[in-house]
Structure 1
Amino acid sequence: MSDKQSVSVIGLGSMGGALARAFLDAGHPTTVWNRTAAKADDLVAAGATRAATAGDAIWASDLVILCVLDYEAANALLEPNADMVKDRVIVNLTNGRPEQARRTGAWVTARGGAYLDGGIMAVPSMIGKPGAFVLYSGSGTAYERYEAALAAMAAPVYVGEDAGLAALNDLALLSAMYGAIAGARHATAMVGPERAPEFTTSLLIPWLRAMAAVLEPSEDEESPLDMQAVGLVNIAQGSRAEGVDDALLTHLLTPMRDIIAAGEGAVLTELVKEIR
């Protein structure tokens, strides 16, 4: 018999399947359920137990992982099984908004369960490997009890008792990621498709890694706003000279507006109006 805590994983898409596999690989007795039963076949062959229903999966383990499309889908699975939630720790790894997490957390708590909301900061291939982490918020007691088990999926990071905090931090981190991706797309458009692969490998990625240090809080102003204003104007005008679509310039709007609000870079005002 395994001395590892048992776990149920509900939702076996590409991410949910990777989560269940990570628990199996770590030696946790794992029960799985998916609306399309065939998605559990490989996991069952690897040692998982197939639950006949979502309710059976909830009943099978004290630790229940939900990884479905959205909160509507998660709630649709939980609500018909309200009498099975008591004494269970429900970990909802569904992407959503803070208020959705708080509502679902309140519903679980009212029925005698403990709730953790989570934000997975990884793609499926990263699960169970260094570099992946999952944000958690909600019941601190539940988190402490199952922290070691949750680490089978990815490094666990607890951000607070407010169930909405994991979703809030998740969305904030994704916003930063999409901003970086938008900037990278703009950059490769500027140099053109022929130069883009070499530019990305030899210059862009090393540059972004080095510049990540700029995000560290500092009292020193290494790049005055008036200098940034000149740089932004040159980026916008240089992009247009290279035939880059203005739509790819929108990631520059926020720094442009910040500089204008600070009373610097008046020349940016017209550019902001044009790029909107």
Structure 2
Amino acid sequence: MTGNGRSPVTVIGLGLMGQALAAAFLKGGHPTTVWNRSADKATDLVSSGAVLADTPDEAVSAADLIVVCVSDDDALHGVLDPVAEKLRGRVVANLTSGSSDQARANAAWSAEWGFDYLDGAIMTVPAGVGAPESVFFYAGPQKAYDRHAEALALLGGGTTYLGEDHALAPLYDVALLGMMWGTLNSFLQGAALLATADVKASEFLPWAIKWVDAVKMFATDYAGQIDAGDGAYPARDATMDVHAGALKHLLHESESQGVNAELPRFVQGLMQRTIAAGFGQNSYASMIELFRAPEK
């Protein structure tokens, strides 16, 4: 701890996101050491009070909490493997995008070298770092997270500890990104359809947002049906047969208006397979059975 009671932090990797992370720690009063292969990226941070380490060895030796945000898992190991002995007893919070198998492999690597490893996921853009609504996920040893929870909370008000399984952070990351792309793709499909009637996307937007709120209610019901684990999937809103019938209209309008119909055609295929499996009178939640199965 320093005189202000704030523990030192090291940030490795100073892309736009890494710079934002280091700036948040500085703003929160934590003595912050930074390192990047290109030292010029640290100029603004140093002028704000950060200390620029000359080497990774110097960087990891400067703090108990080492936050890493580099391009990929290979870059992570390229920097830390040569100084792994210096990590003993410290906490590495890895905010580099990666996969669940990499997270578990890194956990085994940390155990071999005697340091604690937290795998993390950043669910915001650099400008959002430190905002109350920004979400950061962490998974790994509870004691390691608790040790630095105050510092990590400076990165976003939605900072959340997910559990001991390191794979949880990247799994939540890609699951939420999948939701984002699915929602945005559907919005773009709808905007393209309405554009054929000279409706601007900005006119469509308020109704799209309201409908997303309605979809949240459906998802709340479906989550309970899925977690029940009994395969019942009661159709409290509409059956799969009804959904499939409605989708035909979206497919028809897309094709007849000259709008790309790949997305609704793909979803129609998923619905048809679910119905063929015997779920025609069940809710849309029954589609989970298809998503759980590997591709054929």
After TM superposition, the score normalised by the length of structure 1 is: 0.90
* 1:179 and 2:194 aligned: no
Structure 1, residues 204-249: CA drift from partner, whole Å, max 9, x if none?
1222133222211356621222221111111111111111123343
Aligned counterparts of 1:251 and 1:152: Cα–Cα separation in 2: 42
Q: CA separation of 1:88/1:211 partners in 2, compared to 1, >3 Å: closer, same or farther?
A: same
SS of the aligned residue for 1:262 comes to: helix
SS of the aligned residue for 2:155 comes to: coil
Question: Which residues of 2 match residues 201-212 of structure 1 at below 5 A?
Answer: 201-212=205-216
Give the counterpart of 1:191 among 190, 194, 201.
194
Structure 1, residues 60-119: CA drift from partner, whole Å, max 9, x if none?
110000001111111111111111110110000111111101111211121110000001
8 Å contact kept, 1:179–1:251: no
Aligned counterparts of 1:94 and 1:250: Cα–Cα separation in 2: 35
Aligned counterparts of 1:121 and 1:257: Cα–Cα separation in 2: 33
SS of the aligned residue for 2:137 comes to: strand
Where structure 1 has 5 or more consecutive residues not aligned to the other structure, the ranges are: 266-276
* 1:10 and 2:12 aligned: yes
**AA of the residue aligned to 2:210:** P
8 Å contact kept, 1:65–1:93: yes
Give the counterpart of 1:123 among 122, 125, 130.
125
Of 124-133 and 205-214, more deviation after overlay is shown by: 205-214
8 Å contact kept, 2:13–2:69: yes
**How many angstroms does 1:54 deviate by?**
1.9
Question: Which residues of 2 match residues 221-232 of structure 1 at below 5 A?
Answer: 221-232=236-247
SS of the aligned residue for 2:119 comes to: strand
Structure 1, residues 26-64: CA drift from partner, whole Å, max 9, x if none?
111111111111111001111111111122111111000
Question: Which residues of 2 match residues 69-108 of structure 1 at below 5 A?
Answer: 69-108=71-110
Where structure 2 has 5 or more consecutive residues not aligned to the other structure, the ranges are: 226-233, 282-296
8 Å contact kept, 2:195–2:201: no
Q: CA separation of 1:182/1:259 partners in 2, compared to 1, >3 Å: closer, same or farther?
A: farther
Give the counterpart of 2:173 among 170, 174, 192.
170
Q: CA separation of 1:124/1:60 partners in 2, compared to 1, >3 Å: closer, same or farther?
A: same
Aligned counterparts of 1:149 and 1:94: Cα–Cα separation in 2: 18
Aligned counterparts of 2:272 and 2:138: Cα–Cα separation in 1: 34
**How many angstroms does 1:131 deviate by?**
1.2
SS of the aligned residue for 1:184 comes to: helix
Aligned counterparts of 1:86 and 1:178: Cα–Cα separation in 2: 40
8 Å contact kept, 2:251–2:264: yes
Aligned counterparts of 1:82 and 1:67: Cα–Cα separation in 2: 17
8 Å contact kept, 1:6–1:62: yes
Aligned counterparts of 1:4 and 1:46: Cα–Cα separation in 2: 17
Question: Which residues of 2 match residues 18-29 of structure 1 at below 5 A?
Answer: 18-29=20-31
Q: CA separation of 1:111/1:211 partners in 2, compared to 1, >3 Å: closer, same or farther?
A: same
Q: CA separation of 1:82/1:263 partners in 2, compared to 1, >3 Å: closer, same or farther?
A: closer
The count of aligned residue pairs is 265
8 Å contact kept, 1:62–1:89: yes
SS of the aligned residue for 2:280 comes to: coil
Q: CA separation of 1:109/1:238 partners in 2, compared to 1, >3 Å: closer, same or farther?
A: same
Give the counterpart of 1:109 among 90, 103, 111.
111
Identity of paired residues, percent? 38
**How many angstroms does 1:202 deviate by?**
2.3
1:271 — aligned with what? none
